[in-house]
Structure 1
Amino acid sequence: METNNFDKIIKRSLDIREKYHQLEVKGNGKEWSLEEDALAYLTDAGLVGRNVMSHQKTWLKKDSPEELEHKLAENIWWLIVLADRTGIDIKEAMEKFLTKTENIL
């Protein structure tokens, strides 16, 4: 993925999160906290597991490739949001991670 494309994905992700914050304020009187965002991410991460199990036919739920695709992308979205909320530059963090892992292997 080119950096320019990743920049666009990050911007779109953060724009969407801002719209959700507006809905939270409207519905609950306040934006979700960082901890609530982290819990939402963990819930979606768990759903990835269930969808993969369904894909492998080891979970009783009907396999839905669209749902698995959606949840995988949603998890990436949450990670971008969490990085932003914690002051982490996700592009820099990815570069460090990839370089470190490549050097280990």
Structure 2
Amino acid sequence: MAANNFEDIINRSLVIRKKYHELELLHHGSEWTVEEDALAFLTDAGLVGRNIMSQQQRWPKANTDSELEHKLGESIWWLIVLANRTDIDIKEALEHFLSKTEKLIG
């Protein structure tokens, strides 16, 4: 099911993160910190790199496009979560980045 817009994606992402927090409490007695979330994002971002290398036959691992697709989606999800947890509006952050970069490169 495709999200209708970025706001839907953000809302769904935050609901999923809340459910993971519940599992963390159940299994570990505490929710992950923002730092732990950031580390999880970095781990998944690294796996994006490995999966792309594998897909491009530059890394000796059997890889499927579904693994790469999953990690790309998960990395976007983590960025939404991290923005929320640090009180940054991800839509504004992206807009500012795009506008600044468009001006920079013409």
- TM range, smaller chain: over 0.9
Match of 2:41 in 1: 41
Q: What does residue range 15-54 of structure 1 map to in structure 2 within 5 Å?
A: 15-54=15-54
Q: Percent identity?
A: 67
Between the two proteins, the alignment pairs up a number of residues equal to 102
Q: CA RMSD in A?
A: 0.8
Runs of 4+ in 1 over 2 A off after TM superposition: none
Q: TM-score of the superposition, structure 1-length normalised? A: 0.95
Match of 2:61 in 1: 61
* Superposed displacement of residue 91, structure 1: 0.3
* 5+ residue gaps, structure 1: none
- Structure 2 distance, partners of 1:64, 1:83, is 29
Match of 2:83 in 1: 83
Quick check: 1:34–1:85 contact (8 Å CA) kept in 2?
yes
* Superposed displacement of residue 63, structure 1: 2.4
- Structure 1 distance, partners of 2:73, 2:21, is 19
Q: TM-score of the superposition, structure 2-length normalised? A: 0.94
* 5+ residue gaps, structure 2: none
* Superposed displacement of residue 58, structure 1: 1.0
SS at match of 2:5: helix
- Structure 2 distance, partners of 1:49, 1:6, is 25
Quick check: 1:13–1:80 contact (8 Å CA) kept in 2?
yes
